[in-house]
Structure 1
């Protein structure tokens, strides 16, 4: 068969339901995919297409597949940054001008390898269909192995046409069983015993579970370890919801996007157990939480994460879920002092009392905290919540309560990620309800994907935290501007825009919400729809999200 047939059938046989792209690329393959039941999703920008594939990969565990022709390659590579940082399996396919056209000022051609090097773990050129089966299997395997990350195949021809037209004798690949995490090795027995001894020796012990733990699906094992050790659990933002956020052992997200208790608890610990957590600046509040010199036990499937920021007393190289099962057995049922846990629970209870009035606020303009409370009540038991970066991540990561049966996806840093990502998540999980939380500033990035949602019949609830500006930086910048508030407005304010009305122009339902009492009914109506609905919530730009607790200098 020719390369177009082989690729289309391999995607189908591997369980892929959608293929995200920007024209013009792999046109023969697209026709074959449509014929055999893989849905091509044409996006309006390469970055939006990548964000769709990113969330598709996070939800399905299989690589989200995205493609663009030669001239769109730079845009596609830029979009892979979030998938790289978020440890998401993505297979990027691009066309390139034929070898004979290279280094001759060919129209629209730039070198692809340097663009993809920082955001892929594997890359290869495919010259003809005979090379495709081997390269496809290798790329897929690399994408789902620990840590899962994007891979890139650069296909011969502006639109990959040389690979499509040439032939291969190999049967289509069926790789659907290869999902992230593809392998679950357990740490060696000696390390498990050493870790158990270290954990049992600490009275003030905190557990920090990260994105790698969420990927491993080890929420039950984390809880079992914490219950045995009577240890509070904090998570990274990306691991929000892997354990019930209302559980008595849970103290919230730790780091820069934190409510106060988590940072206080982790900073006070004498030993911190990092589970699938990268110890970067966001999760450690710029390496201040936990405090430098703290004792550390670190469990990760990626050995490159060990000792990055904190010297570990014990390291366990293995899949978190598989290794935690052994570690829980090694710890057993010891008698433990519950004083540190009681202190953590008191901090959490005090903070919940403090924030409760805002969760019930009837203020107009609307306090986003009230919007968080309404989404907590509305999100179905198996719902998916997709959040943008910045304040969207802080609001949702601190004030929306989640259960492990629900899924929380967050942007790893790129503004505008949430809405197209929500479309990709829905493609991967058509029977689950998806709510996207986007600020108005983020939505302007990919507003045209409302047309994609309408055309392809992808149904998500797009909640717009609409405060007519970039709320996270607004009060500080206004203060900095002093007696020139107009100058601050020119930098960080825009609109006002009625996104509900704009949704109507795309043929979609839009609901404008201007009073907090209207939120619940709007969310219920939107969740009942079989099309994308925009819930445009007029919020207060002066409202402040929870701020992280910060240790005093030198503490």
Structure 2
């Protein structure tokens, strides 16, 4: 037992659970906690220029380190400013922890108009996270933090929130030292469900495997199942890299779409099946669906013919074992899938200039590097044609598709992976949401290469207004700064690249510099080829 403040218990809980980096901005409500962090050995504090940046960096750190991404902000406006990143972490099942404050404990709920007061601060935090709670006294702090880590890392992972009133952070009491928290074990695959799933597979002639972010820990099992069945594997965003996308059995979505009309069994592993249900929106007649997912509510949301509640690796392994002796070894179909991939790749060359620039980025980015997309014309296209070789190398905002995600998140990715190349892509609109974090990159030596495709517009908005609303443009066109000069004003190197060849040279120079770099790529307004026919293709009969 030792006499510790609430802030000290929280800081020591972070250390006990392997946290070595915290992102954030100090503030009055948080001073006692900030001071505890400053005194806690082994924790690096990276301060940002906006709360949104702190939370996105925590997200990028979490998604690519398999560790908790922790950030701290003041309550009220600070929490709300970070809300977009919490939405993203929730949608992507990322282990992000928000540590925030509240007004003085005796004033909570009184509506007195205190600094940073919200009508229901804890309720707001709960609405943005998987789990959240308040620490009311230092004697509660250790167990509340333990539960936060348990909730964050157990079953379907997700963001959690911790708040404490202003006066509680500095309050002290005799407490036990925090210890590492163990996550709850995943559910054991049900033998009857596995047997039924194996029967479904044995009856199929053309199965397809769809993987999502829940399959990151099942790369070996997914590969083995694919080869056992000679089934193609595809992914949309989160699952990219679970099967290396240069593997003969891997199909990028446009190639998978060409196989889709012949598919008679869709095997979803750790995936919401967004690609098939919400993007393709057409199912072959008589097709069956099998899903392996750790979250049983997924089978209510999209009911499969057979569901297996399990961790992706354990569930897939059990399925492989159940199939032994039940199916004959199928013929090698790799030539068939390579032909589909080649035809799709050739068709995608029509989406210019995006495809040409993405081909250059893929060539220059090392095989173990990280690519951070953002909602943009280039980002949409990347989902269709950018090859990824390991889980987590393609960092995405999942279904939130929020502007301002890319560059800020890439900074967190680089902090987690200082020895790996990190390239972020943004449109001009999205990059301006977080441009202030160039100062953070410079101050903390976070060497991200940010490629800004400047088409002087919110490009997708502009295209929709032109094609659907008879060219009645409102809020679509943008007047932008000189991005090279802007970067240089922050002390960051800026380069302009006007074609793929120049982008190649700029990327090679930027990666060799081992420093923060901004590369501006001017694109004529309205000239971007539409990637949407490849994302939402028409049914084969049309």
Conservation of the 8 A alpha-carbon contact between 2:211 and 2:271: yes
Deviation at 1:421, TM superposition (A): 0.8
Give the unaligned 5+ runs of structure 2: none
SS at match of 1:444: helix
> Which of 89, 97, 118 does residue 95 from structure 2 map onto?
89
Show CA shifts across 1:480-518 (max 9, x none).
564xx6x52x52121343212111011111111113211
- In structure 2, the CA distance between the partners of 1:202 and 1:553, relative to structure 1 (3 Å rule), is closer
SS at match of 1:495: coil
SS at match of 2:308: strand
More displaced, 462-471 or 336-345? 336-345
- In structure 2, the CA distance between the partners of 1:40 and 1:96, relative to structure 1 (3 Å rule), is same
Deviation at 1:48, TM superposition (A): 2.0
| Pairing 1:141-160 to 2, within 5 Å after superposition | 141-157=150-166
Conservation of the 8 A alpha-carbon contact between 2:279 and 2:535: no
> Which of 433, 438, 442 does residue 450 from structure 1 map onto?
438
| Pairing 1:189-204 to 2, within 5 Å after superposition | 189-204=191-206
> Which of 207, 228, 250 does residue 205 from structure 1 map onto?
207
Deviation at 1:553, TM superposition (A): 9.5
- In structure 2, the CA distance between the partners of 1:416 and 1:338, relative to structure 1 (3 Å rule), is farther
> Which of 64, 74, 79 does residue 69 from structure 2 map onto?
64
TM-score (norm 2): 0.90
> 1:363 matched to which residue of 2?
none
SS at match of 1:404: coil
- Measure, in 1, the Cα distance between the counterparts of 2:70 and 2:285: 41
Conservation of the 8 A alpha-carbon contact between 2:373 and 2:395: yes
Show CA shifts across 1:390-415 (max 9, x none).
53432222222221277111012221
> 1:167 matched to which residue of 2?
173
| Pairing 1:48-127 to 2, within 5 Å after superposition | 48-71=53-76, 72-102=78-108, 103-107=110-114, 108-110=116-118, 111-127=120-136
- In structure 2, the CA distance between the partners of 1:432 and 1:27, relative to structure 1 (3 Å rule), is farther
Give the unaligned 5+ runs of structure 1: 254-259, 359-365
Deviation at 1:272, TM superposition (A): 0.8
Conservation of the 8 A alpha-carbon contact between 1:386 and 1:408: yes
> 2:278 matched to which residue of 1?
285
1:9 matches 2:12? yes
> 1:276 matched to which residue of 2?
270
Deviation at 1:319, TM superposition (A): 0.7
Conservation of the 8 A alpha-carbon contact between 1:387 and 1:418: yes
> 1:236 matched to which residue of 2?
236
- Measure, in 2, the Cα distance between the counterparts of 1:405 and 1:121: 23
Conservation of the 8 A alpha-carbon contact between 2:240 and 2:390: no
> 2:537 matched to which residue of 1?
550
- In structure 2, the CA distance between the partners of 1:403 and 1:341, relative to structure 1 (3 Å rule), is closer
1:493 matches 2:477? yes
> 1:37 matched to which residue of 2?
42
> 2:225 matched to which residue of 1?
225
Deviation at 1:520, TM superposition (A): 1.4
- Measure, in 1, the Cα distance between the counterparts of 2:425 and 2:55: 18
- Measure, in 2, the Cα distance between the counterparts of 1:342 and 1:285: 29
1:503 matches 2:487? yes
SS at match of 1:250: coil
TM-score (norm 1): 0.88
- Measure, in 2, the Cα distance between the counterparts of 1:405 and 1:261: 20
- Measure, in 2, the Cα distance between the counterparts of 1:144 and 1:353: 42
SS at match of 1:511: strand
- In structure 2, the CA distance between the partners of 1:549 and 1:73, relative to structure 1 (3 Å rule), is closer
> 1:256 matched to which residue of 2?
none
1:317 matches 2:309? yes
- Measure, in 2, the Cα distance between the counterparts of 1:554 and 1:351: 18
> Which of 247, 253, 257 does residue 263 from structure 1 map onto?
257
Q: How many residues align?
A: 527
- In structure 2, the CA distance between the partners of 1:15 and 1:252, relative to structure 1 (3 Å rule), is same
More displaced, 143-152 or 117-126? 117-126
- Measure, in 1, the Cα distance between the counterparts of 2:284 and 2:130: 32
- In structure 2, the CA distance between the partners of 1:115 and 1:458, relative to structure 1 (3 Å rule), is same
> Which of 137, 140, 145 does residue 136 from structure 1 map onto?
145
CA-based RMSD = 2.6
1:350 matches 2:355? no
Deviation at 1:2, TM superposition (A): 2.1
Deviation at 1:185, TM superposition (A): 4.3
